């Protein structure tokens, strides 16, 4: 039987994943500088309150609404502010599911979405699984990363349906500027495109920058359809409680929300317990985020201290998010370097090539690791990179 052409031709792991699995099977103790799961990073969660939120009587009731429960949507709207209303929101089981619904909404098989590069590699597969094509558009680095809006304009074809941006970007960490936002929304309005904005890392600013837009919700009346995505995975550092959402603004918002509700009604994938707990979870989220933000800033300071003793190494500016880009001499390919570090010093890092960073000479580190592990990881890898 032939499988769908939307799937990969094979499911063999890449070289780094294969080496990681082998070393783990051999019992090797590894230090992970790619960790992105906050529940494995030693943060203190308000356990009693979380358990109580998930044990409310309402979790035993099933009263589905394609948009999601109103109480959850009201809590999310209050979290975001900027005039967002419960009526503007649709709940999903994750931001990945949110992308899947939006790609169904906006495109037919063979249509395209434009995605900045470097960025998170999942977009290619999320689009492909919906029959769409994700076309990368190179960003450029000049003191900081910048979207090349002219390159986006040049990449638009008759099959282009939307532009996807991440604010702040993962892994480069740059926030959208007000200038970029005006240019992007103007381009989308002229070309009849939607603009999808992933703001899962919005609550984790690390470096002030001039002309920063902040959240796209600061623009109450964009000239093109805008769909904002976020979720509890980052907002509350609770990836195990699967809840994401889409906020809808701009021309055609009423029609778009009705169509999204129709799509969501075919799945009704968001569980009742997490919707019932959402108002409490969002109330508790600020205390968890403060711990995460403190860890990110501490690890970034640790990295800067370590770099001062290794002048051949540097980092790129990181304005927000959970990752940092380490720049090194390109004496070998990024993936070869990551494999070498895994084998020789039992430390996992991500090669820049995984995120389509141009050329060689970049490693991607998570700032989320416990501080002592982060310091030990730097001590291990810096003499080797």
pLDDT digits (tens, 9 = 90+) for 353-370: 999 999 899 999 999 999
CATH number at 360 reads 3.90.1150.10
pLDDT score, position 277? 97
Please report whether residue 9 resides in a domain: no
Single residue among 268, 284, 300 that ends a domain in this structure:
284
State whether 205 and 348 are in the same domain: no
Number of domains in the chain: 2
State whether 33 and 67 are in the same domain: no
Asked if the model's pLDDT at residue 247 lies above 90, the reply is: yes
CATH number at 220 reads 3.40.640.10
Please report whether residue 19 resides in a domain: yes
Please report whether residue 237 resides in a domain: yes
State whether 79 and 151 are in the same domain: yes
Question: Mean pLDDT throughout 308-331?
Answer: 96
Asked if the model's pLDDT at residue 9 lies above 90, the reply is: no
State whether 199 and 272 are in the same domain: yes
Domain that holds residue 321: 15-44+285-381
Please report whether residue 5 resides in a domain: no
Instruction: Of 362, 365, 368, give the one whose Cα is nearest residue 380.
Output: 365
Residues of the chain with pLDDT > 70, as a percent, come to 100
Please report whether residue 99 resides in a domain: yes
State whether 203 and 56 are in the same domain: yes
Please report whether residue 244 resides in a domain: yes
State whether 218 and 326 are in the same domain: no
User: Residues of 30-50 as b/e, b for ≥16 C-beta within 10 angstroms?
Assistant: ebbbbbbebeebebebeeeeb
pLDDT digits (tens, 9 = 90+) for 69-121: 999 999 999 999 999 999 999 999 999 999 999 999 999 999 999 999 999 88
State whether 112 and 32 are in the same domain: no
Question: Mean pLDDT throughout 302-319?
Answer: 97
Asked if the model's pLDDT at residue 371 lies above 90, the reply is: yes
Please report whether residue 94 resides in a domain: yes
Question: Mean pLDDT throughout 14-19?
Answer: 95
Q: Are 209 and 241 in contact (CB under 8 A)?
A: no
Question: Mean pLDDT throughout 20-39?
Answer: 96
The contacts of residue 237 (CB under 8 Å, 6+ apart) are: 38, 39, 43, 285, 288, 289, 292
Please report whether residue 4 resides in a domain: no
State whether 267 and 310 are in the same domain: no
pLDDT score, position 61? 87
The contacts of residue 182 (CB under 8 Å, 6+ apart) are: none
State whether 105 and 200 are in the same domain: yes
pLDDT digits (tens, 9 = 90+) for 199-234: 999 999 999 888 999 999 999 999 999 999 999 999
Please report, to the nearest 10 degrees, the dihedral formed by the alpha carbons of residues 118, 183, 81, 211 taken in order.
Answer: 80
Asked if the model's pLDDT at residue 329 lies above 90, the reply is: yes
Q: How far is it, in rounded angstroms, from Cα 153 to Cα 68?
A: 36
Q: Could you tell me the CA-to-CA distances from 300 to 237, 348, 380 in Å, in that order?
A: 19, 18, 17
State whether 348 and 331 are in the same domain: yes
Q: Could you tell me the CA-to-CA distances from 102 to 64, 87, 202, 346 in Å, in that order?
A: 21, 17, 20, 40
State whether 92 and 168 are in the same domain: yes
Question: Mean pLDDT throughout 267-281?
Answer: 96
Single residue among 231, 254, 284 that ends a domain in this structure:
284
State whether 259 and 313 are in the same domain: no
Arithmetic mean of pLDDT over the chain: 96
Q: How far is it, in rounded angstroms, from Cα 76 to Cα 86?
A: 8
Instruction: Of 298, 347, 335, 315, give the one whose Cα is nearest residue 16.
Output: 335
pLDDT score, position 230? 98
Single residue among 240, 263, 284 that ends a domain in this structure:
284
pLDDT score, position 210? 86
């Amino acid at each position: 039987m032939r499988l769908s052409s939307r799937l990969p031709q094979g499911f063999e792991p890449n070289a780094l994943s294969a080496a990681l699995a082998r070393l783990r099977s051999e019992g090797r103790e590894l230090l992970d500088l790619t960790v992105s799961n906050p529940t494995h990073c030693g943060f203190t969660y308000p356990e009693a309150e979380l358990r109580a939120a998930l044990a409310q009587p309402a979790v035993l009731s099933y009263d589905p609404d394609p948009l999601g429960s109103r109480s959850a949507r009201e809590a999310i709207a209050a979290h975001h502010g900027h005039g967002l209303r419960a009526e503007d929101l649709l709940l999903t089981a994750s931001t990945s599911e949110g992308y899947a619904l939006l790609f169904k909404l906006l495109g037919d098989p063979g249509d395209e979405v434009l995605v900045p590069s470097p960025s998170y590699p999942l977009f290619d597969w999320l689009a492909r699984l919906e029959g769409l094509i994700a076309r990368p558009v190179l960003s450029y680095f000049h003191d900081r990363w910048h979207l090349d809006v002219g390159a986006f304009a040049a990449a638009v074809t008759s099959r282009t349906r939307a532009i996807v941006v991440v604010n702040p970007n993962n892994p480069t960490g740059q926030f959208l500027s007000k200038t970029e936002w005006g240019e992007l929304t103007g381009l989308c309005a002229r070309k009849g495109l939607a603009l999808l904005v992933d703001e899962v890392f919005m609550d984790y600013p690390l470096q002030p920058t001039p002309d920063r837009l902040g959240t796209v919700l600061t623009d109450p009346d964009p000239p093109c359809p805008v769909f904002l995505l976020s979720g509890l995975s980052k907002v509350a550092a609770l990836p195990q409680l699967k809840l994401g959402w889409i906020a809808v603004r701009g021309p055609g918002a009423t029609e778009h929300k009705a169509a999204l509700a129709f799509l969501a009604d075919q799945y009704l994938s968001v569980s009742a317990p997490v919707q019932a707990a959402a108002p409490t979870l969002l109330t508790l989220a600020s205390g968890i985020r403060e711990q995460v933000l403190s860890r990110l800033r501490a690890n970034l300071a640790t990295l800067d201290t370590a770099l001062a003793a290794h002048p051949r190494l540097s980092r790129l500016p990181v304005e927000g998010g959970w990752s940092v880009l380490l720049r090194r001499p390109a004496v070998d390919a990024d993936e070869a370097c990551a494999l070498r570090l895994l084998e020789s010093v039992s430390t996992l890092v991500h090669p820049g090539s995984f995120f389509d960073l141009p050329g060689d000479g970049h490693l991607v580190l998570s700032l989320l690791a416990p501080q002592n592990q982060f310091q030990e990881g730097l001590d291990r890898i810096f003499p080797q990179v």
